[in-house]
Amino acid sequence: MDKITIHTWNVHMHTFAEDNLYVIEELDELKQPDVICLQEYVEGKDASTLKWLKHNDYNITYLPFANYPQDTSISQGIFTAVKKSLKGASSPVILRKDGPRRFRNFPNRRGVIDTVITLEDGSIISIINFHATPPKPYTIDMRKSEFDVLSNYLEELPKDRKVFLCGDFNFFGIDARRNLLKNRFQHFTGTNIHKTWQHNFPFSPLKLNLDYLFWTQNLAVSAKLRPFKISDHRPILASISVPISH
């Protein structure tokens, strides 16, 4: 192996809960990426994606953020699948827990899934899947809390650790958190023309770059945007060049 391919995508929970076959079509086109990081994955409404992943030899880790208030057997969160041949170990890490509020009448939490992969030269990569709380007037303290804990988590990783952080960061407008990550990491997102997110209502002009990749200087990464497919977010496909033994 001379590279690790990573596919990250906010699949849009409402669409995914209705019909997730578009996700399988995307993964089939990509010839089975090594690591798949999904945001807004819906547990309890998915059988086809799970069947596809198990058939193609992936280990699966899911971190629920919240249950549906109307049906607690259904939840949404982040989801990481790793090819078994990589021998990666994925661990959920809770960043914030929050009880019911006036505008969110259900318990809610946020976190990351950190997948640790040991390379042939003995070095280690953390591939971290993240989905930030959407910006609302009543989520300001939630977003600050989870970002503070995320920043501390990244700071406490071993200094020689290779880190690849991906997902939906919900950076809206001028956001100091985006600048902090950009100053620390190399990064990739959409362009001024090709945004990673578009409002899914007809005739809406609203488009933003909400989805990012961030990585440390000791990684060689190439990345590209994929086309919109049903979800209101674009997938991103990245490749990390890794050393191989001779």
- Cα separation of 32 and 6, whole Å? 10
Residue 70 lies in a domain: yes
Other C-beta atoms lying within 10 Å of the C-beta of residue 121: 9
Going from the C-alpha of 16 to that of each of 11, 49, 177, the distances in angstroms are 6, 10, 29
- Cα separation of 172 and 222, whole Å? 25
Average pLDDT of adjacent 10-residue blocks, the chain of 246 residues: 93 93 95 96 93 96 88 90 94 88 76 94 94 89 93 95 97 91 97 92 84 97 96 97 68
Select from 162, 236, 201 the least CA-distant residue to 5: 236
Residue 75 lies in a domain: yes
Residue 246 lies in a domain: no
- Cα separation of 246 and 241, whole Å? 16
pLDDT of residue 245: 52
- With tokens 């990550």, the residue in question is 181
pLDDT of residue 246: 45
pLDDT of residue 164: 98
Look up residue 27 and give its two tokens.
Answer: 């993964």
Rounded to two decimals, the pTM is: 0.95
Residue 59 lies in a domain: yes
Query: Are 62 and 43 spatial neighbours (Cβ–Cβ below 8 Å)?
Result: yes
Residue 109 lies in a domain: yes
User: How many CA atoms lie within 13 Å of 71's alpha carbon, on the beta-carbon side?
Assistant: 9
Residue 49 lies in a domain: yes
Q: CB burial class (10 A; 0-12, 13-18, 19+) of residue 184?
A: middle
Helix extents (H) in 70-221: 140-156, 176-184
Residue 165 lies in a domain: yes
- Cα separation of 171 and 84, whole Å? 33
Domain containing residue 205: CATH number: 3.60.10.10
Residue type, 96: R
pLDDT of residue 92: 97
| Domain range for 202 | 3-241
User: How many CA atoms lie within 13 Å of 142's alpha carbon, on the beta-carbon side?
Assistant: 24
pLDDT of residue 162: 96
Query: Are 58 and 81 spatial neighbours (Cβ–Cβ below 8 Å)?
Result: yes
Residue 24 lies in a domain: yes
How many independent structural domains does the chain possess? 1
